A and B are shown apart, each in its own frame.
Chain A
Amino acid sequence: MVEFIFYFFCFVAVLSALVILFSKNILYAAFSLVATFMAVAGIYVIAGAEFVAITQIMVYVGGIVVLLIFGVMLTNKISGKAMITESRNKFSGAIVMISLSALLIYAIFRINFSALQSQSIIDNHTNNPAEGFNNINHLGIGLMSDYILPFEIAAVLLLIALVGAATVAGYKERSDGH
């Protein structure tokens, strides 16, 4: 059952990603991006990372994709026509990417994961997570203890980014106003 759900999410993720790739309409792309994110979130859940999955949905679907759609709307003069984007470098891109994916998949199959898993300390836990073990607890504790510095930096970064974004996007009018 879990395998089926996993493969389903995989399928949805890949399919929607391909829609992004092949669709000419930007809005379709944006929406299928949402689907991709959702599917990936599902996969996170299967992998036992519920918190990350939630964050994924909130940040990406709630924030980034909305931002993107706004961006789309702001940069395209809507005149009844669909928002179309052209492709380029199709052929060379395809070749490079097919070869890259082939190489990557080949490399992945070359990795001896069983050896990796057997050497893993938590080998047993993977298959049978301990009862009452809570990811979110651990995450919260971790963020406030071991990862406090990165967490703070990330916060500052986010702040700076948002301020910067606002400044960049809005600066021109003011400079024009000068």
Chain B
Amino acid sequence: MEYSELLQPLPWTPPTILCLVILALPFVSFLLMATTPNGSRKPMSWIASGMILFAACLSLYLLLSTWASPANHTRFEWFTIAGMPKVTAGILLDINTALMLVVVNVISFLVHAYSTAYMKDDEGYKKYFAFLGLFTFSMLGIIMADNLLIIFIFWELVGLSSYLLISHWYQKDSASKAAKKAFIVNRVGDAGFLIGLAILWVQFNTLDIEALKVLMQQSMLAEGQWASSLGHVLNADWLTIAGIALFLGAMGKSAQFPLQIWLPDAMEGPTPVSALIHAATMVAAGVFLMARIFVLLDIHALTFIATIGAITAFMGAVAALTQHDIKKVLAYSTISQLGYMLMGIGVGAYDAALFHLFTHAFFKACLFLAAGSVIYALHEFEHDTGLKFDAQDMRNMGGLRKKLPFTFLAYGVSSLALIGIPFFSGFLSKDALLSGAYAWADVMSGGGFSFYYLVPGLGFLTVVLTALYMFRQLLLVFFGDFRVISKHSDHSLNEVKEVPFVMKSALIILGIMSLGLVWSINPLDHSHSWFLGALKAPAILTPGFDIDWQPRLIELMFSNHIEVTLISITMIIIGALTGWYLYRPGSPYAKSYFDRKDTINKFQALSYNNWYLNEAYKLIIEKPLLWISNGLTSFEKRVIDRAIDSLAIGNVILAHLIGWIDRMVVDGFVNFSVFFAGRIGVMTKSLQGGKIQSYILIAVFGIVLMIFWIIW
């Protein structure tokens, strides 16, 4: 029937075979690193990097060769479950996939290369590279898979590799706790993902994305019921819930409110890992997933996504304002940027969201690696001088631009990209996103004012905050005095050395990718971007979706982007000036900041503690959960077990009772009858006591009885 057509196996084509090779390379690297002896770790790591480089080249070739060509799809039957259409698996290579392949492989390669220097003295060097391979493999799996089930599988696997990499320094309690937290929070999202899958499975009995698209289009929405062409009927709400549930998966992985708490903690992992996983690729998987299933979402789910995205963008930016840790700032910034992307998905700016994903991947990776360089340099400094200080605390840094000029350059370029300064990549993608959001608010509110404007409003507000915290970071790290030295005057700044070449080269490549010119011929207008030209938002196929919605959005987006650009530039200037004013070298505010221990007001505390989400979770979920668990255990011990025990004891008592009854009653009866007979004998014998008077007595007694009987 229809299913056999929908899910028919599709043959392998050269591009998909290439995909398979690309997928296999990191896995082979993982196996190599996992099985080879520790002695050969250096050369093996170079081989691993080489394999990723090869994969990157292949994916670049793949991108170029499949540019603007229709999607390549290969599908094969995976397994059969009783009475159901076959469960398939396969590779779906479209433009998104090809682009993501390049991004993941390139960044992965750069991180591999960077790590050979960064991790060179680490005990777990081999383990580290193995897990990097595993991660790359899983990430590529998400990108290529044509089936939500497969995506889910790799989805969990990236969670696993993220877990393993965060807990790389497992001897540190904070690292192992962070890893655990990351995995569990991701699991929460995954549970939602699973429910989304279940809803789709119930309706369509398949999870193949291409088939789902067809089936979704065929399904009907009428009278509050959502009927699939299979005849399965659900309440229409489930259509929205399916979208939201799938988004829940993305919320977990992409650290969206309220599941963003794991990402800052994940900075416990090595910095290159943070760059690869927690900035560039894995956290973007949520965005990628949403893009994959974009056409299956309905308007309510989209609104939900946009709202959550905007809230997260704002919350992340606020939290980034007051962090001391150089990586934490970047982590919150990542959360914020991911919020932007998902807001983009939610507002229908599909292409802008993906565009931002790619630009962000590069500049954020660059930022992280640059931050890694700073940390590396300071660690070396710490090592050389024997000073003890926290190499990640920005309050200890300052003035490093002189000693780490190269790092400063990369950091500056990518910071500007992140802030969204014109001529840098971030400007293009962020503007596209904001104009999309603005257009969406216009469309949704139907011209009048409404709460929909809060979404672009939060977006613009976040621009201010982004500029503020990035300027703050730049100023704190690279300008002013090197504060460790100013505290310990017997050392000089000269002892801080620039990082090795291999690290620098990674920064170069990523820094270049942060420039606007790479992405667009006209770096002031995102609509001229070659990139956006290639990405086109697909038409949403959900039943009951307004067909005019997307064209109207695009129309408005084009018309409003000039004003959006102006607004955002104004916002950036405001943010940048505030940042400069507060944290310029020698400013009183900055001075007081370096000395104080605690946050000075409620707002700062709120920001520093990431809106107290951790505490809230502890209070609302963790504590009650543990309390209930312990309660259940003691309930089991005290109530169930005791009931069982007392049942057993009662049984024993009953047995004893029955034993007693047996002895006393049953045996007693026998004994008694014997005793009774004997007694009777004794009694009658005693009557025959030879005592005549006794006989007479009894006779008289008899007479008494007789008289008694007669007169009554």
A residues contacting B by CB (< 8 A) are: 88-89, 92-93, 96-97, 99-100, 103-104, 106-107, 110
Nearest A residue to B702, CB-CB = A96
Residues of B within 8 A of A110 (CB): 711
- Whether B711 lies near A107 (C-beta < 8 A) is yes
Q: How far is the CB of B704 from chain A (nearest CB, A)?
A: 5
State whether A103 and B711 are in contact (beta carbons under 8 Å apart), knowing that A96-B701, A96-B704, A97-B700 are contacts in the complex.
yes
A100 CA to B700 CA in the complex, in Å?
Answer: 8
Collect the chain A residues with CB atoms within 8 Å of residue B708's CB: 103
18 A-B pairs (CB sep. < 8 Å): A89-B693, A89-B697, A92-B697, A96-B697, A96-B704, A97-B700, A99-B704, A100-B700, A100-B703, A100-B707, A103-B704, A103-B707, A103-B708, A103-B711, A106-B711, A107-B707, A107-B711, A110-B711
> Hey, which chain B residues are within 8 Å of A99, CB to CB?
704
Q: Do the beta carbons of A93 and B711 come within 8 Å of each other? A: no
Q: Which residues of B contact A107 (CB under 8 A)?
A: 707, 711
Q: What distance in Å separates the Cβ of B389 from its nearest Cβ neighbour in chain A?
A: 112
Q: Given known contacts A107-B711, A110-B711, is B697 in contact with A93 (CB within 8 Å)? A: yes
Binding site for A on B (CB under 8 A): 693-694, 697, 700-701, 703-704, 707-708, 711
Give Cα A96 to B694, complex, Å: 12
In angstroms, Cα B704 to Cα A101, docked, is: 9
- Residues in chain B near residue A88, CB distance under 8 A: 693
B683 to chain A, nearest CB (A): 13
CB distance from B702 to the nearest CB of A (A): 10
Taking CB atoms, residues of chain A closer than 8 Å to B704 are 96, 99-100, 103
A98: min CB distance to chain B, Å = 10
Interface centre among A96, A99, A104, by most B CB within 10 Å? A96
B203 to chain A: closest CB distance in Å?
100
Tell me which residues across on chain B come within 8 A of A89, comparing CB atoms. 693-694, 697
In the bound complex, how far is the Cα of B711 from the Cα of A106, in angstroms?
A: 9
Q: Which A-chain residue is minimally distant from B703 (CB atoms)?
A: A100
Closest to A99 in B: B704
**Which one, B693, B701, B707, contacts A104 given CB within 8 A?**
B707
Nearest Cβ distance between residue A96 and chain B, in whole angstroms?
A: 5
List the 10 shortest-distance A-B pairs measured between CB atoms, nearest first: A103-B707, A100-B704, A107-B711, A96-B700, A96-B701, A99-B704, A89-B697, A89-B693, A92-B697, A103-B708
Kindly list chain B residues whose C-beta atoms are within 8 Å of the C-beta of A96. 697, 700-701, 704
A3 to B707 Cα, complex, angstroms = 30
Shortest Cβ gap from A172 to chain B (Å): 22
A103 CB contacts on chain B under 8 angstroms: 704, 707-708, 711
Q: In this complex, what residue of B is CB-closest to A88? A: B693
Can you name the residue of chain A whose Cβ is closest to the Cβ of B694?
A: A89
**Closest chain B CB from A34 CB (angstroms):** 24
A103 to B704, CA, bound (A): 8
A40 to B159: give the CA distance in the assembly, Å.
128
A99 CA / B703 CA spacing, docked (Å): 11
Q: Which residues of B contact A104 (CB under 8 A)?
A: 707
Bound Cα distance from A106 to B703, whole angstroms? 15
Taking the nearest CB of chain B, how far is it from the CB of A86, in angstroms?
12
- Bound CA–CA A106/B697 (angstroms): 21
Chain A residues in 8 Å Cβ range of B697: 89, 92-93, 96
A97 to B694, CA, bound (A): 13
* Residue of B693, B700, B701, B704 ringed by the most chain A CB atoms within 10 A: B704
Q: How far in angstroms is the closest Cβ of chain A from B405?
A: 131
Whole-angstrom distance between the Cβ of A101 and the nearest chain B Cβ: 10
Q: Which of A92, A99, A100, A103 has the most CB of B within 10 A?
A: A103
